[in-house]
Amino acid sequence: MVFQEGSLVPNLSVTENLFLCHEAEFRRVGILSLRPMRAAARELLAQMKLHSIDVDLPVAEISSAERQMVEIARLLWLSRLYGQENPVLILDEPTTVLADSERETLFEILHELKKRASIIFISHRIQEVLENCDRIVVLKDGKNVTEMPAAESRLLKIEQLMVGHSFAVDRFHQDEEWKQSEKEILRVENLSKAGLFQPLTFTVREGEIVSLIGLVGSGKEALCRCVAGLEKADTGAVILDGRKLPSGSPSAAVRAGIGHIPIDRRSEGLALMMSVAENVNLLVLNRLKTAGFLSPAREKKNAQHWIAECQIKTPSSGTLCANLSGGNQQKTVISKWLSSRVRLLILDHPTRGVDVGAKDELYKIIRRLAKEGIGMLMMCDTLEEDIGLANRMLIMKDGRLVKELASSPRQKPSPQDIISLIV
Amino acid sequence: MGLTHKLKIPPVYITVALLVVVGLAFYLGNPNFLTPYNLNTIISFSAILLMVALGQMCTILVGGIDLSVGGLVSFISVAFILLIKPIGYWAYPACILMGVLAGYTNGLILTRIKIPSFIATLGTGGILTSLAYLVSPRPVNLSPDSYQVVDTVVNGSLLGVSNVLYIGLAVFLLFFAILRFTSTGRNIFYIGSNIKMSWMSGINITRTRNIAFMLSGLGAALVGITMSSIRYGGDPVVGTAYVLNSIAAVVVGGTALTGGTGGVVNTLFGAIFMSMLDNGMNVVGIDQYLQQAILGIMVIIGVTLTFDRTKTPIVK
């Protein structure tokens, strides 16, 4: 298996990575012999027509394409070691990190390898799948939707299959419409981060839900991190309520009123071993003081207010967050930001790992917040969620803002429209 | 499996139970263990250990550790005695200030130079130990005409109770108030619990960590002063034992070394437990050479019982 992120040890050399954990094969009288190891490494790479890689370089110093080749070479060697005649290689999104020319080389090698091995190729770039694969399997929501020879398929057909016909807007449908103010809360101007996203400009208005849509790696995550101050942008400005925020300072962003609901609430959103009350009150401790000291009574009152407001199901405000369900943990994170009178919320996959019932409650909370005037920048788990919740959509692809779509309650774009824009 | 996790009882109760069981064992070994005189000794030692342990606890709660307390106690111990001669009572605030400054230095090395506190305080601890030796290579005695300075403060008593206990109690209440009723105290817990979340929520991590280490310096300085007062003299090795004992007291009380959970009450019982163990082993006459081993075993048992390891996949 070749993973999307790569599984080599960056500070070890190519040779060492190739034979990692199997160095015993090169033992001479109990001592590791480096010369045959290097020779074997060269031979292995030569088989794949890779003569340019220096086997003594640390993996961190070779290109990402070369790294991928090294991983494939390692797998081939391992399968030979264990006497596998026709190994199955699984390549998970191997082309996302590659430049165009590197991609060509990869496919050349893969075609060559077909004689010796079977390959499972996972990719979201449908064009390259069509061009290079023999058979295509489309998966959706964990189910095998269809299987067909590549020669018979068309791009459009696959896109449709990926979305599914059973698409239902109802569950996410907005039953109520609210008047959005024209007042702009957030303005992002020419913000860019090298290698992640190109300079882009957009705004979020009061009470507006803006969805950022794009594939993993389209730059939307990095964009949100820059807006929240978690990463320093290279150029451009984040302007909240007319004031420019310093780049790369989460505390300045928080003070200005930018809240961030992280994708991984357990590691980034909550103090799990602390109580619900302590988590909800985190940002407003200064408002819960009497004569300069925290007042337990006022703390409890504030916590209980938000527990009721967001319908957090917890035995008491003193319960540890670790003991709550995913949905209630998420509501706790949201409460934390709401109690601080946040202006703009960044919602990073707010319904990730939350059961269906709690999801609906979260949708309701999100809509109510919008009605109260909080602007939101959102990334969702599914397109349907984006379509249902958003007022406006920003489509990102390869680090660029490619399209802006209105998504008013009566005129929602279809998932097919969006898919064709993002891939 | 941590017992606390299975039975869902707070670690403090486990520590108290352990305290009772071990105390009873010492009593059966030698009935003199429970005489008022001996109990008084244990409590005095607890009060002293408590001061440095509470400071240590703050650094552990923010996910760090302070290995420099030993060197600091030693340094303050000799510095205090030497300072009494020229500046009299001003030696008290001067030493407290030096302790806090030493703690601040530790904090700065951690937060500005970004060196893990384990290494940073190992280094400053060495520097402080050397400083103690440089200032006074040999134990130094207080000249009798200055006895008054220490007798009126540390060695005095009120209503038949030694001032050491009052000082210990005051320090306990101070730490209790800071951790329970101030934002800084709460931030110490947030940071120890989840430093990434704290950073993303805009908590001033640098400042909070600096304060935690300053509190540790404060505790160590107070112990240096107290020790020198009781002995009427400073000793450049007096602090050595406090590094491990303070950490042990914190951890036996149920504060996790990973930070975030624990508190002053835990550390209070942890300090009493460690002092009782130390004293009890002498009272029942356990071989001097064996004592360290038994102490070590008891610490491991204590932590096994109080520390919930089920949610911590990797212990470092």
Q: Using a CB-CB distance cutoff of 8 angstroms, which residues of chain B are in contact with residue A267? A: 194, 196-197
A contact test, residue of B194, B258, B311 with most A CBs within 10 A: B194
User: Per-residue pLDDT tens for B128-172?
Assistant: 999 999 988 888 888 888 887 777 777 777 887 788 889 999 999
For range A3-13, the mean pLDDT: 72
The closest CB to that of B196, out of A268, A289, A293, belongs to A268
**pLDDT confidence band for A4 (50 / 70 / 90):** low
Residue B232 lies in a domain: yes
Instruction: Confirm or reject contact between A294 and chain B (CB < 8 A).
Output: yes
Q: With helix as H, strand as E and coil as C, how does chain B read?
A: CCHHHHHCCCHHHHHHHHHHHHHHHHHHHCHHHHCHHHHHHHHHHHHHHHHHHHHHHHHHHCCCCCCCHHHHHHHHHHHHHHHHHHHHHHHHHHHHHHHHHHHHHHHHHHHCCCCCHHHHHHHHHHHHHHHHHHHCCCCEECCHHHHHHHHCCCCCEECCEEHHHHHHHHHHHHHHHHHHHCHHHHHHHHHHHCHHHHHHCCCCHHHHHHHHHHHHHHHHHHHHHHHHHHHCEECCCCCCCHHHHHHHHHHHCCCCCCCCCCCHHHHHHHHHHHHHHHHHHHHCCCCHHHHHHHHHHHHHHHHHHHCCCCCCCCCC
Q: Which residue has the tokens 């006074």?
A: B136
Instruction: Confirm or reject contact between A415 and chain B (CB < 8 A).
Output: no
pLDDT for the residue numbered B76:
93
Residue B140 lies in a domain: yes
What is the residue range of B215's domain? 3-306
User: Per-residue pLDDT tens for B262-297?
Assistant: 888 889 988 998 899 888 888 888 888 888 888 888
Q: How many CB atoms lie within 10 A of CB A11?
A: 11
Residue B57 lies in a domain: yes
Q: How many CB atoms lie within 10 A of CB A79?
A: 17
Nearest CA in chain B to A286: B183
Nearest CA in chain A to B204: A251
Output the furthest CA–CA distance in chain B (Å, rounded): 59
Shortest Cα–Cα distance, A373 to chain B (Å): 21
Residue B79 lies in a domain: yes
The mean predicted confidence, pLDDT, of chain A is: 79
Q: Rounded to the nearest 5°, which phi and psi values hold at A191? A: -70, 135
pLDDT for the residue numbered A204:
87
pLDDT for the residue numbered A179:
59
Residue B311 lies in a domain: no
- The neighbouring-strand residues paired with A28 are A31
Q: With helix as H, strand as E and coil as C, how does A328-391 read?
A: HHHHHHHHHHHHCCCCEEEEECCCCCCCHHHHHHHHHHHHHHHHCCCEEEEECCCHHHHHHHCC
Whether the per-residue pLDDT at A137 is higher than 80: the answer is yes
Q: Write down the CATH superfamily of domain A170-422.
A: P-loop containing nucleotide triphosphate hydrolases (3.40.50.300)
Q: Which residue has the tokens 């949905």?
A: A327
The whole-angstrom distance between residue B170's C-alpha and the CA centroid of its chain comes to 14
Nearest Cα residue to B244 out of B125, B139, B100:
B125
Using the beta-carbon criterion (under 8 Å), do A253 and B202 form an inter-chain contact? yes
Tokens describing residue A408: 């008013």
Q: pLDDT above 70 covers what percent of chain A?
A: 88
Tokens describing residue B47: 């009060």
Q: Using a CB-CB distance cutoff of 8 angstroms, which residues of chain A are in contact with residue B197? A: 267-271
Query: Residue A269 gets which letter from DSSP?
Result: I
Using the beta-carbon criterion (under 8 Å), do A293 and B181 form an inter-chain contact? yes
Q: Using a CB-CB distance cutoff of 8 angstroms, which residues of chain A are in contact with residue B311? A: 322
Q: pLDDT above 90 covers what percent of chain A?
A: 0
The closest CB to that of A283, out of B189, B201, B260, belongs to B201
Q: Using a CB-CB distance cutoff of 8 angstroms, which residues of chain B are in contact with residue A270? A: 194, 197
User: Per-residue pLDDT tens for A331-349?
Assistant: 888 888 888 888 888 888 8
For range A223-244, the mean pLDDT: 84
Instruction: Confirm or reject contact between A273 and chain B (CB < 8 A).
Output: yes
Nearest CA in chain A to B256: A273
Amino acid at site B133: Y
CATH class of A14-123: alpha beta
Highest mean pLDDT: which range of A224-238, A275-289, A409-423, B118-132: B118-132
Pairing label, strands A184-193, A235-240: antiparallel
**What CATH number corresponds to the domain at position B204?**
1.10.3470
User: Per-residue pLDDT tens for A350-371?
Assistant: 887 777 777 888 888 888 888 8
Nearest CA in chain B to A269: B197
Residue B313, judged by CB atoms within 10 A of its CB (0-12, 13-18, 19+), counts as: exposed
pLDDT for the residue numbered B213:
94
Residue B312 lies in a domain: no
Where along chain A do the CATH 3.40.50.300 domains lie? 14-123, 170-422
Q: Which residue has the tokens 């600091």?
A: B72
A vs B: CB pairs below 8 A? 65
pLDDT for the residue numbered A174:
52
Specify the 3-state DSSP secondary structure of A60. Answer: helix
The closest CB to that of A294, out of B186, B198, B201, belongs to B186
User: Per-residue pLDDT tens for A48-106?
Assistant: 777 777 777 887 777 777 777 788 888 878 877 777 777 788 887 777 667 667 777 77
One digit per residue, pLDDT tens: chain B, 316 residues? 344 444 556 777 777 888 888 888 888 888 888 888 888 889 999 999 999 999 999 999 998 899 999 999 999 999 998 888 888 888 899 999 999 999 999 989 888 888 888 888 999 999 999 999 998 888 888 888 888 777 777 777 788 778 888 999 999 999 999 998 988 988 999 998 888 888 888 888 899 999 999 999 999 999 999 999 988 888 888 888 898 889 988 888 888 777 778 888 889 988 998 899 888 888 888 888 888 888 888 878 877 776 655 554 444 4
Domains in chain B: how many in total?
Answer: 1
pLDDT for the residue numbered B102:
92
Residue B11 lies in a domain: yes
How many Cα atoms occupy the beta-carbon half-sphere of A228 within 13 Å?
24
Tokens describing residue B12: 């403090």
Q: Using a CB-CB distance cutoff of 8 angstroms, which residues of chain B are in contact with residue A273? A: 193, 260-261
Q: Are B246 and B274 in contact (CB under 8 A)?
A: no
Nearest CA in chain B to A296: B181
pTM of the full structure: 0.77
Nearest CA in chain B to A297: B181
The whole-angstrom distance between residue A170's C-alpha and the CA centroid of its chain comes to 26
Nearest Cα residue to B59 out of B122, B106, B113, B115:
B106
Tokens describing residue A190: 């020419």
With a CB-CB cutoff of 8 Å, which residues 229-268 of chain A face chain B? Answer: 230, 250-255, 260, 262, 267-268
Q: Rounded to the nearest 5°, which phi and psi values hold at A200? A: -145, 155
Amino acid at site B307: F
pLDDT for the residue numbered A29:
72
Sheet holding A400-406, edge to edge: A258-261, A344-348, A375-379, A209-213, A392-397, A400-406
pLDDT for the residue numbered A182:
73
Residue B316 lies in a domain: no
Nearest Cα residue to B61 out of B202, B267, B300, B204:
B267
